[in-house]
Structure 1
Amino acid sequence: MTGAEGFPILSVMADNLIDTSDDLGLSRVDAARLDAGALRQVIREERWTDTTIGLGLGQLQANLAIVPKEDAYDFLLFCQRNPKPVPLLEVLDVGSPIVREIAADADVRTDLPRYRVFRNGELESEPLNLVDVWEDDAVGFLLGCSLTFEQAMLAAGLPLRHIEADTPAPVYITDRQCAPAGKFSGPMVVSMRPIPADQVARAVQVTSRYPWGHGAPVHVGDPAALGIADLSAVDFGHAPNMKDGDIPVFWGCGITPQLAVESARPRYTFTHYAQHMFVSDRSSEADAAL
């Protein structure tokens, strides 16, 4: 498993986007202006192969996990039993790559910028599409992503230190075990965002409105309560950019199911490449709690 080290972090507010381009010349600012369907089309055409951070603003973005049919029921149970780190958005039909609930005319084989292919738990490749490796018994799972609530936090005026520092958010493997399901088990993984002490309550309030994007924090304060001895020793991402008066606040993280899947070692597993998400048609506000 490789972390997000080195991936560019860009502000998710459109007017703060850095005008970079991917290898095929499409400007990030131009890509950010596309609606979800048009964005998926340029991704399908492999005209955009970079991270989806800052794109599809206002839309739910999703992690992807695809497992064989014989493992799908247990993985579904794992998602249902661990909704904080593994919020389930949609389950696809057996053998079908077509998304039915959260997007129209979408195909999970082609509509994410990059993928990871595992065989028996071992990384095999990181292709731009899954067309050549797709299996007839594949079952796809679209899972919630924290980009949903980060947009809301910025809109509410809450600072995000990793974006200020242009680094990935710090991510840690905790000593809290997820509720197991069949062969799927493992620790909860969390992302951490330093929040000024007087704004922690607001951060909890804002993020709790987005259960499909990990929702409210799983822990506030002492990292030792999660088995994290040193905040600077991240497992994925980048060491935190803490400022005076900041409190560490921890949210469930989408790396959790990837660790569970890798540990279970299915015949094959297809996932998204870190920060290269599926951008859905569903508004991030559509399912937000009042």
Structure 2
Amino acid sequence: MNADLARLSPRELRQLIRRGDYDGHTSGLGQRHLQANIVILQKSWADEFLRFCVLNPRSCPLLDVTEPGSPYFEKLGTDVDVRSDLPRYRIHRRGRAFEEVTDIGEFWEADFVAFAIGCSFSFEQALLDAGIQLRHIEMGRNVAMYRTAIDTHPAGRLAGKTVVSMRPMKAVDAVRAIEITARFPMTHGAPVHIGDPALIGIADIAAPDYGDAVPVRADEIPLFWACGVTPQAVLAEAEPELYITHAPGHMLVSDKLYGEV
């Protein structure tokens, strides 16, 4: 990760992204500020999605919701425009991503409702502050994410499996990581699984469904946190006519510090 990018304030980073000067992943950026997964739906789906978030707080800790038609998140900072302030977006039609773009102004509709969901990138700074190394950051990679066999709680037309993010650690660091992340329920909290990936339906840890592969060494344990890509997987099964999400790993960086929620 470019050290100059890592030093930018959230507002400076968003302005850089809005100008089209950065479209990479946001792991390691934002300096102790909340990052958010984004889901944008037509109003006819918004109430069901809100219920889905309430029923699945580990995967979908809800940080903010826009008013129908408004692209601004009022709780997440000053001038936070969901149409332009993420590095990359995915446009989905009937459950299939058909285009990846860096600005969604041309796709914006008058009845869109945007949801900001807590992201595990936010608690990574707390782990780094505690001296726990995170390999995907060291390698300049996106975090590894996997579909699992863990069921979500259904809400109307929305149901499916949980997606998790994985970080490998030595046992002593794993214990501390569990204790630290448990303090941040709005950024997914403690891991949902530790150890053997096969027990949660992951056949090959070297082949993530999203993000980049991160090696797990012989003396390490993989830790799996609920991930905000979960609603993308669930929406793909429900097949709304049109919806927009962040590209995995390409988050909205807010003005809120990770300990403020």
**Greater Cα offset, 228-237 or 141-150:** 228-237
Partner of 1:277: 251
Partner of 2:163: 189
Supply the distance in 1 between the matched residues of 2:179 and 2:192 (Cα, whole angstroms): 13
Where does structure 1 lack aligned partners over 5 or more consecutive residues? 1-9, 11-17, 20-28
Aligned partner letter, 1:140: A
Aligned partner letter, 1:64: I
- The Cα RMSD (Å) is 1.7
Once the two structures are TM-superposed, the CA of residue 64 in structure 1 deviates from its matched residue by 0.6
Once the two structures are TM-superposed, the CA of residue 273 in structure 1 deviates from its matched residue by 1.8
Partner of 1:79: 53
CA 54–167 in structure 1, closer or farther in 2 if over 3 Å, else same: closer
**For residues 60-88 of structure 1, what are the alpha-carbon distances to aligned partners after superposition, in whole Å with 9 as ceiling and x for unaligned?**
01111001101101101111111111111
Partner of 2:198: 224
Q: 1:193–1:248: 8 Å Cα contact kept in structure 2? A: yes
Whose radius of gyration is greater, 1 or 2? Answer: 1
Once the two structures are TM-superposed, the CA of residue 242 in structure 1 deviates from its matched residue by 1.8
**For residues 185-220 of structure 1, what are the alpha-carbon distances to aligned partners after superposition, in whole Å with 9 as ceiling and x for unaligned?**
110111121121122221101111211211100112
Question: Is it true that 1:135 corresponds to 2:122 in the alignment?
Answer: no
Aligned partner letter, 2:127: M
Once the two structures are TM-superposed, the CA of residue 49 in structure 1 deviates from its matched residue by 2.6
CA 125–213 in structure 1, closer or farther in 2 if over 3 Å, else same: same
Partner of 1:89: 63
Instruction: Please point out which of 37, 47, 70 is paired with 2:21.
Output: 47
What are the equivalent positions in structure 2 for 1:1-290 lying under 5 Å apart?
Answer: 10=1, 18=2, 29=4, 31-287=5-261
**For residues 121-162 of structure 1, what are the alpha-carbon distances to aligned partners after superposition, in whole Å with 9 as ceiling and x for unaligned?**
232322221111111110100011111111111111112233
| Structure 1 counterpart SS, 2:106 | coil
Supply the distance in 1 between the matched residues of 2:46 and 2:163 (Cα, whole angstroms): 21
Q: Percent identity?
A: 46
Supply the distance in 2 between the matched residues of 1:168 and 1:48 (Cα, whole angstroms): 15
Given the two structures, how large is their TM-score scaled by the length of structure 2? 0.93
Where does structure 2 lack aligned partners over 5 or more consecutive residues? none
Aligned partner letter, 2:163: V
| Structure 1 counterpart SS, 2:116 | strand
